[in-house]
Amino acid sequence: MTNRLALAALLAALTMPAFAYAAEIDWNKVDAALGKSAVLSGDVHRYGLPRSDLKVTLDGVAIKPALALGGWVAFAPMGDEAMVMGDLVLLETEITPVMTKLLDGGLDITAIHNHILRASPATFYMHVGGHGDPEKMATVIRSALASSKTPFDPPTTGAAPAPAIDLDTAKLDEIMGVKGTATGGVYQFGVPRRDPPLEMGMKVTGPLGGANAINFQPTGNGKAAITGDFLVTGNEVSPLIRALRANDIEVTAIHSHMLDEQPRMFFIHFWANDDALKLARGVRAALEKTAIAKS
């Protein structure tokens, strides 16, 4: 009995500091430093940074921020510190000044690239990462984005409500095998992988950018513009892009977002504007070539 009590006491002593450290993060200060309120998913604090200031068109479609301009950063607690990951939407002229301030503040740049093609104006996506004091990292991110026109002001009172999703969303849910969410006039799907990759020993879950993201923006008469990204291992790249092309979905980029994830992952971006149900079937066929979680 004595040995059991001693073991229990030892285990309690070992686990208590972790809880104490986690409790020391004052997320209200992180919110204040970034000038945003987080959406909490488990223990991940995610902040939306949509480029609602930009008027971007692609193949005659006016791109809504929720379709392809939705920047974000997310913080996952690691003891009394945090890991940050994010994706900043920038114009070409904003890349260098934003990067310089992020680097000077101790954060890492893990990727810069396009997600879509032929957009006017052209948009680029800067992926950031880091580990440390979340309030300090939030301060650096806010300061860096001051070199861009990324809006931080809250929506004005009486702003127009988001337009209705003029699509058969129930049928889309059925085809995709998961339930979508209406956000800013766009119908969004997050399809997790069966085994999320690890970064710094932590699972890269959906809120950290570790899920297949599929977005549908209605374009009239049952059609939709779709874009997003698939998260795949190297051996899944060719089967997936072949499935996309077989369904007349354009592959617009193949690249990495992270640096040290295990296993190595690639992100495949895409675009099409066609019958929404037809496109959903094509996307689902592509997903079946990957190790997605079964619903």
Supply the DSSP string of the chain, one letter for each residue: -HHHHHHHHHHHHHHHHHHHHHHT--HHHHHHHHTSPPEEETTEEEEEEE-TT---EETTEE--HHHH-EEEEEEEEETTEEEEEEEEEEEGGGHHHHHHHHHHTT-EEEEEE-SSSS-BS-EEEEEEEEEE-HHHHHHHHHHHHTTTT---SPPPTTPPPPPP--S-HHHHHHHHTS--EEETTEEEEEEEBSS--EETTEE--GGGT-EEEEEEEEEETTEEEEEEEEEEEHHHHHHHHHHHHHTT-EEEEEE-S-SS-BS-EEEEEEEEEEEHHHHHHHHHHHHTTS-BPP-
Q: What integer best gives the mean pLDDT of the chain?
A: 90
Quote the pLDDT of residue 218: 98
pTM for the model:
0.88
Q: Please say if the pLDDT value at position 87 is more than 50.
A: yes
Share of the chain above pLDDT 90, in %: 78
Residue-wise pLDDT tens digits, 194-245: 988 888 888 898 888 989 999 999 999 999 999 999 999 999 999 999 999 9
pLDDT band, very low/low/confident/very high, at 162 (cuts 50, 70, 90) = confident
Higher pLDDT pick, 21 / 23: 23
